[in-house]
A and B are shown apart, each in its own frame.
Chain A
């Protein structure tokens, strides 16, 4: 999807983004974003917006949030130099280790932040959706931590392929609600969570897991995840001796990518590359490369780029990674693509599997299948741009992917000749 913004508008929008004034009062990132929700939920969104304005940047909230990040999540997460991978790629590769955060992925930053907020707003219970199960686990843990009951909506297909995470959620005291409607993956889970919220908009808090949905969620999630990029930027200066030439992050809904990229937007010399799921091919339904092949439309509360047919029906997606298997993308990413600040590319299922294996072999890190897409793309880039300093958002660990990975025999040394 190419930008339809003229050059002047694009420049002004990027300046506003870097200045921190987006989204605007109507929840827009330029043309993207907004709030397309059923009337029943409008008062709940207004309350949420007011609650965020009151609490999110207050000293009391920030103190509690930062304290939980430090003492419960285990932040700051490490920045790791990857010497053997660097040698192979002919680059200087640094990894921002969100896999070391509590529960094993960046999702926990957002989950604990929103759980604290929900408590302050007087919520009686929390509902969440999950794709790969990482946000479900993070929500279950965060709810246990703040003492609120939690129900997680999860597509039946995802329950099948992410079984270990289902068990973790249950042990953390959450109820896992299987979603049998629609495509039975993340998109159907969000639809079902919204339906549940409509039945109790006053008492229920919807803890959304990505930078998607109606305003103010994309903003809220970005604010809570920006700790990734803030830490990484400082760590690069301290440990690498300078900022990276390029930063990579995988993009499903886009929460880890916006968390890494947002604090780097103003460093205009850093090239930013988001990597979507290329699945098994370019055809509709074979991938989840929303920004690369989608068109503008409204899905699940916001105007963004979505995968749809000419009649406006949202299309099913395919990816080996449940966390990237989504037909939409956060509206801020749609804007960042339109203004040309972030480039969005894709990596295939096979490339992701290869990259996952290479990282295991060279650095002893089993990364998540989602994250492996970022490595696959970074490796390609490194070959074309030798000698550069590369930062990769290592958004999560791959333990949860073992049921999927066991279907693919280990291809030891498959990358040695690459």
Chain B
């Protein structure tokens, strides 16, 4: 099984058990680099797949919560190389990992080295929010060589023809952005969410995971009727920011 195939398998296992796949997001090394692996294990125990954010100086698709966590992590010395080193030194985390990073840190690391290091450390796929499909050939080829996926995002603004192209190109799962906006919004999920997610799911050969604006159990239930998985980012980062218990929060979502 290629690394990227572990993601779909984990989501499918959750669905087979009658649950919506849960994909928690944390910014790596936040709030405290010293407890990174411990936090990751707690989150991995409650989630089916974990999305790990690489902090970046210019997170243009993220709202204030993830911006704050990103800047704090950078100040605390968290880098892509550091994250790989921590993962390499840790025992099995317990869930497939997906890495979310803006393109520039990946480019600075070098795509070939990135793909190898990702496979070695249990990273099964990447989400790159500022990399549209048209610019992705180089990194995709490097990741393919190691069986590591590149997850595509689709949004309510994506035309149907493009949606088909992106669904066909994605590896791991297909990321359906629920809203037209950035992460961490509090406007709630849109009224026409069901129709949108049904359409995306019908066009995708991979499990569809919905993200942006999913904050509570009710959201996970609503999304779960129309998608295989739910991604919870800013709400979980807020829990960590407050110093609350991430395990209790995530159990409450399942």
Which residues of A come within 8 Å of B, CB atoms? 26, 34-40, 42-44, 181-182, 187, 191, 194-195, 198-202, 297-301, 306, 308, 310-315
* Chain B neighbourhood of A191, CB < 8 A: 58-60
A145→B159 CA distance, assembly (Å)? 34
Indicate whether B12 reaches chain A with its CB closer than 8 angstroms.
no
Pairwise interchain contact B157-A311, C-beta atoms closer than 8 A: no
How far apart are B178's CB and chain A's nearest CB, in angstroms? 11
A63 CB to closest chain B CB (Å) equals: 33
> In the complex, what's the smallest C-beta–C-beta distance from B172 to chain A, in angstroms?
16
Query: In the complex, which of the residues A40, A182, A195, A297 has the most CB atoms of chain B within 10 Å of its own CB atom?
Result: A40
Interface status of B180 (Cβ within 8 A of chain A): yes
Cβ contact within 8 Å between B134 and A311: no
Known A-B contacts A300-B58, A313-B57, A314-B104; A38 and B129 likewise in contact (beta carbons under 8 Å): yes
Known A-B contacts A182-B57, A199-B182; the reply to A308 vs B158 at CB < 8 A is no
In the complex with contacts A26-B134, A36-B130, A299-B104, A313-B56 CB distance below 8 A: yes
B72 at the interface (CB under 8 A from A): no
Interface hit among B1-9, B24-32, B38-46, B61-69: B61-69
Q: Which residues of A sit under 8 angstroms from B153, Cβ to Cβ? A: 38-39
Known: A35-B135, A36-B132, A181-B64. Contact between A311 and B180, CB under 8 A? Answer: no
Chain B 102-159 residues near chain A, CB threshold 8 A:
102-109, 129-132, 134-135, 152-155, 157-159
- Chain A residues with CB under 8 Å of B204's CB are none
A-binding segment of B73-81, B92-100, B229-237, B245-253: B73-81
- A selection of 9 A-B contacts at a CB cut-off of 8 Å is A35-B135, A39-B129, A181-B67, A202-B157, A298-B130, A299-B58, A299-B104, A313-B105, A315-B57
| A198/B132 in contact, CB under 8 A | no
**With A298-B104, A298-B107, A312-B104: A182-B177 Cβ-Cβ less than 8 Å:** no
Q: How near does chain B come to A74, taking the closest CB pair, in angstroms?
A: 36
- The complex places the Cα of A298 from the Cα of B109 at a distance, in Å, of 13
When the two chains form their complex, are residues A39 and B60 in contact, meaning their CB atoms are under 8 A apart? Answer: no
Tell me if A34 and B135 are in contact (CB < 8 A). Answer: yes
* Given A198-B61, A297-B107, A312-B106, 8 further pairs, Cβ under 8 A: A37-B132, A40-B157, A43-B158, A194-B60, A195-B182, A199-B180, A312-B56, A312-B108
Assess the A313–B74 pair: CB atoms within 8 A. yes
The answer to whether A311 and B60 touch (CB under 8 A), given A39-B132, A43-B157, A43-B159, is no
Question: Is B181 part of the binding interface, using a Cβ–Cβ cutoff of 8 Å?
Answer: yes
Residues of chain B in range 172-191 having any CB-CB distance to chain A below 8 Å: 177, 180-182
Please, how many angstroms separate the alpha-carbon atoms of A315 and B153 in the complex? 28
- B199 adjacent to chain A (CB < 8 Å): no
Within the complex, the shortest CB–CB distance from A300 to chain B, in Å, comes to 7
Q: Kindly report which residue of chain B lies nearest to residue A192, judged by CB atoms.
A: B60
- At the interface, yes or no: B162 with Cβ under 8 Å from chain A? yes
Provide the bound-state CA to CA distance between A38 and B159, in Å: 15
The residues of A that contact B67 with a CB separation of less than 8 Å are: 181-182
- Chain A residues, CB < 8 A from B157: 40, 42-44, 201-202
The answer to whether residues A195 and B132 also contact, given A43-B158, A187-B58 and a CB cut-off of 8 A, is no
Chain A residues with Cβ below 8 Å from B132 are 35-37, 39, 42
Check if B131 sits within 8 Å of A36, measured CB to CB: yes
State the CA gap A300–B61 with chains docked (Å).
Answer: 11
Residue of A nearest to B63 (CB): A195
Distance, CA A408 to CA B153, complexed state (A): 51
- Return the chain A residue nearest B101 by Cβ: A312
Contact partner, B108, options A44, A187, A195, A297, Cβ 8 Å = A297
For residue B107, which residues in chain A have a CB less than 8 angstroms away from its CB?
A: 297-298, 312
The 5 residue pairs across chains A and B that have the minimum distance between CB atoms:
A312-B108, A312-B105, A313-B57, A312-B104, A311-B79
Kindly identify which residue among A36, A198, A313 contacts B103, using a CB–CB cutoff of 8 Å. Answer: A36
Residues in B neighbouring A43, C-beta threshold 8 A: 157-159, 162
Q: Is the CB of A297 within 8 A of B104?
A: yes
Most A CB within 10 A of own CB, among B60, B61, B130, B181: B60
Chain A nearest CB from B3 CB (Å) reads 23
Residues of B within 8 A of A300 (CB): 58, 60
Q: Is the CB of B63 within 8 A of A39?
A: no
With A187-B58, A314-B58 as known contacts, state yes or no: A37 contacts B130, CB within 8 Å.
yes
Complex: A194 Cα to B102 Cα, angstroms: 15
CA gap between A308 and B108 in the complex, in Å: 9
Residue of B nearest to A314 (CB): B57
CA distance A42 to B162 in the complex (A): 10
A39-B154, A39-B158 are contacts. A182–B58 as well, Cβ < 8 Å?
Answer: yes
The reply to whether A38 and B108 contact each other, CB–CB distance below 8 Å, is: no
User: In the complex, A301 Cα to B134 Cα: how many Å?
Assistant: 13
**CB distance A201 to B108 under 8 Å?**
no
Q: Report A18 CB to chain B, min CB distance, Å.
A: 27
